[in-house]
């Protein structure tokens, strides 16, 4: 128990300083009782009943006191079972003969971005290896088969296919990077979704015809949103393309547009192979494929749905999927309708 008025003042001054910095900090006595804490620390839920609730943070304080030096650690922390885990950087140091100050920094977002960057580099390295290796091998084969016109023709066709696959992958990476950065580089304006859907459908007609898939659309006229028409067209095009690629021959893909609860709802429905329930949350991740062998066959990059998700987020919307294996899938892209205020901006 703290008896000294001087000790109380040291703790109060330290917390006041932390409040100025908007920093999370906890002041503990020699008995590891919390004498004071900043408002940021309270919001993080580090303390309950006058004690630190995380054992790793308690151990950090003990080490700092025992060694009489500054100690730091990184720890995953959740104040209760329902709360999302936070990634914290904590440093404990002696504040006085009696007190230890524990400074805590929430690095959850930085950790998430670092993990995303690491996964992205790892995935892109793997994805680029396949077409690059194929192009290298095919170019060598062309040199060897220079006297065999039939072989040269075959290798040239394969080389062209792999080069297009590589170009498509690079373009999708550029598109996704731009969208993830929130770069709505096109003109933000009033957009007629019916026109965008018609354009996206038209750009997929050749693919649908080649795969013998019937493509149709039925839209409510004069449905407007505020946004980047280029990015929205890309997102809708990707949904339609994805539906065609995962549909069998002689099947159908339908595109619809309606207004529901102040939102525009664009639906793309197929009766293709469907998506297992345990994979439906992951299909919007970069490079994730439900059927990798089918993606190799169709030349899919695994980035199309990731682009759709980020384009939706950047426009204040969302994308969802309902699917059953063997029955098909329905993707729904929801976007806020254009308001009077948007038109006056």
Burial 239-274 (b: 16+ CB within 10 A, else e): bbbbbbbbbeeebbbbbbbeeeeebbbbbbbbbbbb
Alpha carbons 282 and 175: distance in angstroms, whole number: 20
Measured between alpha carbons, how far is 171 from 191 in angstroms, rounded to an integer? 24
For residue 258, what are its two tokens? 């309606």
Residues 6+ positions from 339 with CB-CB distance below 8 Å: none
Element (H, E) at 285: none
- The tens-digit pLDDT sequence of the chain (345 residues) is 445 777 777 777 777 877 777 788 899 888 888 888 888 889 889 989 989 999 999 999 999 988 888 889 888 888 877 777 889 999 999 988 888 889 999 998 888 778 767 766 666 666 677 678 778 888 888 888 888 888 888 888 888 877 877 777 777 677 666 665 555 555 678 999 999 999 999 988 988 998 999 998 888 888 899 888 888 988 899 899 889 988 888 899 999 999 988 899 999 999 888 888 878 877 887 666 655 544 445 445 567 788 888 888 888 899 999 999 888 899 999 999 987 666 655
* Closest residue by Cα to residue 238 from 176, 281, 188, 282: 176
Beta-strand relationship, 328-336 and 318-324: antiparallel
Q: What is the pLDDT of residues 54-70, one digit of tens each?
A: 999 999 999 998 888 88
Query: Is 193 within 8 Å of 224 (Cβ atoms)?
Result: yes
The span from the CA of 249 to the CA of 165, in Å, is 22
Kindly report, residue by residue over 205-220, the tens digit of the pLDDT: 988 998 999 998 888 8
Question: Hey, what are 232's tokens?
Answer: 């929205």
């Amino acid at each position: 128990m703290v008896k000294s008025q001087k000790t109380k003042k040291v703790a109060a001054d330290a917390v006041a300083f932390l409040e100025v910095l908007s920093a999370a900090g906890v002041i503990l006595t020699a008995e590891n009782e919390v004498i004071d804490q900043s408002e940021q620390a309270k919001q993080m839920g580090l303390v309950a009943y006058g004690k630190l609730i995380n054992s790793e943070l308690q151990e950090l304080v003990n080490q700092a006191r025992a060694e009489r030096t500054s100690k730091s650690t990184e720890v995953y922390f959740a104040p209760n079972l329902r709360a999302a885990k936070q990634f914290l950087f904590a440093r404990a140091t002696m504040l006085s003969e009696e007190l230890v100050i524990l400074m805590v920094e929430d690095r959850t977002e930085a950790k998430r971005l670092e993990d995303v960057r690491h996964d992205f580099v790892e995935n892109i390295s793997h994805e680029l290896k396949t077409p690059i290796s194929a192009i290298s091998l095919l170019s060598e084969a062309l040199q060897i088969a220079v006297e065999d016109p039939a072989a040269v023709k075959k290798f040239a066709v394969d080389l062209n296919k792999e080069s297009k696959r590589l170009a498509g992958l690079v373009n999708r990476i550029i598109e996704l990077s731009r969208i993830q950065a929130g770069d709505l580089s096109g003109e933000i304006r009033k957009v007629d979704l019916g026109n965008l859907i018609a354009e996206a459908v038209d750009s997929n007609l050749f693919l649908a015809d080649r795969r013998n898939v019937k493509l149709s659309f039925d839209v409510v006229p004069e449905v407007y949103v505020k946004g980047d028409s280029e990015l929205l067209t890309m997102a809708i095009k990707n949904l339609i393309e994805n539906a065609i690629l995962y549909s069998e021959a002689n099947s159908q893909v339908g595109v619809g547009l309606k207004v529901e609860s102040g939102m525009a709802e664009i639906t793309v429905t197929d009766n293709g192979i469907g998506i297992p329930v345990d994979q439906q949350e992951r299909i919007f991740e970069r490079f994730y494929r439900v059927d990798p062998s089918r993606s190799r066959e169709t030349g899919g990059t695994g980035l199309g749905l990731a682009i759709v998700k980020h384009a939706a987020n950047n426009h204040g919307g969302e994308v969802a999927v309902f699917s059953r294996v063997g029955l098909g899938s329905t993707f729904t892209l929801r976007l806020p309708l254009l308001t009077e205020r948007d038109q006056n901006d």
